[in-house]
Amino acid sequence: MLKRWVPVVLVVLLAGALLTPAAFAQAPVKIGVIQPLSGPVAASGNYVRMGAEIARDWINARGGIGGRKVELVIEDNKSDPKEAASAAEKLIARDRVPAIMGAWGSSMTLAAMPKLEEYGVPMVVETSSAASITKRGNPWIFRISPPSEMEALGLERYVDKLGVKRADFLAVNTDWGRGAVGAFGDMLKKKGASVGAAEFMDQAATDMNAQITKIKATGGDTLFLTTAVEQITLVMKQAQEQRLGRKIITTGGSSSPTQLIKQAGAAAEGSYHLLFFMPWFPEAMPDGKLAKAFVDEWAKRGHPFEGLTEGFRGHDGIATIAEAIKVAGKDEPKAIRDALWKVRLMGVNGPIKFDKDGPAGKESGQSKPSIFVVQIKDGKVALPDFLAKK
Amino acid sequence: MEQLLQHLLNGLVLGGTYALLGIGLTLIFGLMNLVNFAHGEFYTLGAYAAFAALALAGVNFFVAVLAAIAAGAALGALCERVLLRPLRAESIDTTMLVMIGVWIAMQNGELLVWGGVAKSIPHPFPTAPLVLGPVSIAPLRVFVFVLAAGLIAASYLLIHRTKLGRAMRATFQDRDTAALMGVRIGRIHTATFAFGSGLAAAAGALLGPVFLAYPSMGDLAALKAFCVVILGGLGNLPGATLGGLLLGVAEELGAGYVSSGYRDAVGFVIIILVLLLRPSGLFARQERIG
């Protein structure tokens, strides 16, 4: 008699054992992520996603937020502003995320912004550089990446040491590229340097010979290059083919020098890169221990080293949102927005704290990230001479 | 002057690549009357096939280009047999939709297999430029230009001087009569599509090392190929060649002397003008009614 009941009892016990944790565990905290996972700048977007996943796993390993696990809902914006807007709409309306990180490119971020205001959901901007993002009076925007103006100011004290006297610009034809040309041009003029050609290229363009020929004719000494690593590779190779012979400085932090050394080879030699993370020397970062841990975790997961200069953005963005949810004590969009103003956090890049930017009453948040300069020397990434001697 | 010479040289080299992209499409689009939206994907396939052969299998560069052409032609033949043959009696819109499907499937397949990070394809040519007086050019680009010219000439001879070429032209001029004359229509369709796809793959294998290989590289290539075909006139090989060179030089001069931000617009302005003034293409001969 008892024998007949044994299987039933076992099944009930087993079902109970399986169901109990699910019944008692709280629903996860959702965070939306919009990144270019396909299209011309897919490499960068995927690195940011990898960094975001590290932040998620670290937070969950420490017990999540108030005992609740963090779950990322990741959407692909296909490197396309139109897709960025619909990705934001989907995350908010269908997945009901209380906060978003995104959307890599300035044009993509700008396209997603009206949706944030419409639905009242905050977004932490991890990469975009166009000044207009925090100037438009969208109180749901919190940016941890530097706008081009801030980046230009960061470079200002090195202009003399870099020997920039006559500069030309080549930039991607987006809000980011056009913004950078303006910001760096203004800074250089203030420093007494002259500005020659300002040329643009389509985001998907592969042949930049026409622009390079035009730039070559100006007789300048420095070329400021603003685009993602794929196009930087092509411009450097084509500049070498045409014997451009300029000092090249890349802006925007998406130059991935390690990938350039691999793919552009000798054409990348001597170039300078403005970056927001130096994975080659993590100990030189504001929080050396955190930076080192991030670099080690990245390697442990088998992610390519060259992705680190993008990947940290994903970590810092998710860590910022998680901190805000912790401060707010609930995952409700408006509470997170208010809490973001109170966030004080150490990221891989450095301290994160939001100041007000944009028209009064509708300010966006803007953090002041750390900015670094590195140079490719003898096929390796090094600190430039004027910094290394200190 | 120096600048103008360099612009013209850049434009010719760029135009040569457009011509190579255009001749494959002009065969499929012009002769077969099939709007092949997947043309750019065969170009991408060629680049990745060359990458696989060179970087993974470690074969010689020239063998890799041949392997890429073979891969493109084989997949083209398969595509024609499986997807297009059953739809031969359908309208041009139906096959166009099928080709859009092929385009999306191939592009996402490439993304799945190779990932989104661009690949640099190794090549055996020195990176130091060849300096010719006031202008300079990479040795690889000279090689690509010469090989493109060779492929274009070979295609022209195949279409206009061989029995297979005559059968192709006959088939697409009047299918029923050609069939009555003993032409095996099915085979001609497959051969033409495979030939056009092989040319696209050749372009990818040759241009991949000049640029970079990534899954969406075919989109821009297909756009340029369609421009070239419209400029040159449907099915017109010399037209596609001249159209390609014209587009390359026009874009280059537009970017050099007007504004680089409107580089691609220059090409489209020319196309709109051609469609308005000479709708059958710049280099179209008087249409023969078959």
- Smallest CA–CA distance, residue A170 to chain B, in Å, is 10
A183-187, B64-68, B191-195, B271-275: range with lowest mean pLDDT:
B271-275
Looking at the predicted structure, is the pLDDT value of residue A7 above 70? no
A4 contact B CB<8A: no
pLDDT tens digits, residue range B52-108? 999 888 899 999 999 999 999 999 999 999 999 999 888 888 999 999 999 999 998
Region A290-311: what's the mean pLDDT?
95
Q: Tell me the residue type at A163.
A: G
Kindly indicate the confidence band of residue A8, based on its pLDDT and cuts at 50, 70 and 90: low
pLDDT tens digits, residue range B190-226? 999 999 999 999 999 999 999 989 888 999 899 999 9
Q: Say yes or no: domain B2-277 is CATH 3.30.360.
A: no
Residues 6+ apart with CB under 8 A from A10: none
Q: Tell me the residue type at B192.
A: T
Q: What pLDDT, on the 0 to 100 scale, is given for residue A2? A: 52
Instruction: With beta carbons under 8 A apart, name residues in chain B contacting A204.
Output: 216, 219-220
B252 contact A CB<8A: yes
Q: Which domains does chain A have, with CATH numbers?
A: 29-146+286-366 (3.40.50.2300), 150-275 (3.40.50.2300)
Mutate which: A48, A79, A241, vs B, most B CBs within 10 A = A241
* Chain B residue with Cα closest to A303: B117
* Chain A residue with Cα closest to B255: A210
A251 within 8 A of A197, measured Cβ to Cβ: no
Distance, CA of A169 to CA of B17 (rounded, Å): 27
Residues 240-269 on A with a CB inside 8 Å of B are 240-243, 262-263, 265-267
Crossing angle of the two packed helices B39-51 and B217-232, in degrees rounded to 10: 130
Instruction: With beta carbons under 8 A apart, name residues in chain A contacting B3.
Output: 213-214, 216-217
Q: What pLDDT, on the 0 to 100 scale, is given for residue B287? A: 52
Distance, CA of B105 to CA of B107 (rounded, Å): 6
Distance, CA of B36 to CA of B222 (rounded, Å): 9
Region A238-267: what's the mean pLDDT?
92
A286 within 8 A of A346, measured Cβ to Cβ: yes
Region A317-332: what's the mean pLDDT?
95
Region B145-171: what's the mean pLDDT?
92
The closest alpha carbon to A128, from A58, A175, A68, A186, belongs to: A175
- Smallest CA–CA distance, residue B204 to chain A, in Å, is 13
User: Taking CA A145 as the corner, what is the angle to CA A142 and CA A146, rounded to the nearest 5 degrees?
Assistant: 110
Percent residues over pLDDT 70 in chain A: 93
Three-state SS sequence of B25-80? HHHHHHHCCCCCCCHHHHHHHHHHHHHHHHHHCCCCHHHHHHHHHHHHHHHHHHHH
Kindly indicate the confidence band of residue A21, based on its pLDDT and cuts at 50, 70 and 90: very low
- Cβ–Cβ below 8 Å for A243 and B215: no
- Smallest CA–CA distance, residue A288 to chain B, in Å, is 29
Looking at the predicted structure, is the pLDDT value of residue A24 above 90? no
Distance, CA of A1 to CA of A9 (rounded, Å): 13
Kindly indicate the confidence band of residue B286, based on its pLDDT and cuts at 50, 70 and 90: low
Q: What is the DSSP letter of B261?
A: G
The model carries a pTM of 0.85
Peptide bond between residue A103 and the one before it cis (omega within 30 degrees of 0) = yes
- Smallest CA–CA distance, residue B250 to chain A, in Å, is 11
pLDDT tens digits, residue range A329-358? 999 999 999 999 999 999 999 999 999 999
A205 contact B CB<8A: yes
Kindly indicate the confidence band of residue B2, based on its pLDDT and cuts at 50, 70 and 90: confident
Return the residue matching tokens 């994907």.
B41
Looking at the predicted structure, is the pLDDT value of residue A18 above 70? no
Looking at the predicted structure, is the pLDDT value of residue A95 above 80? yes
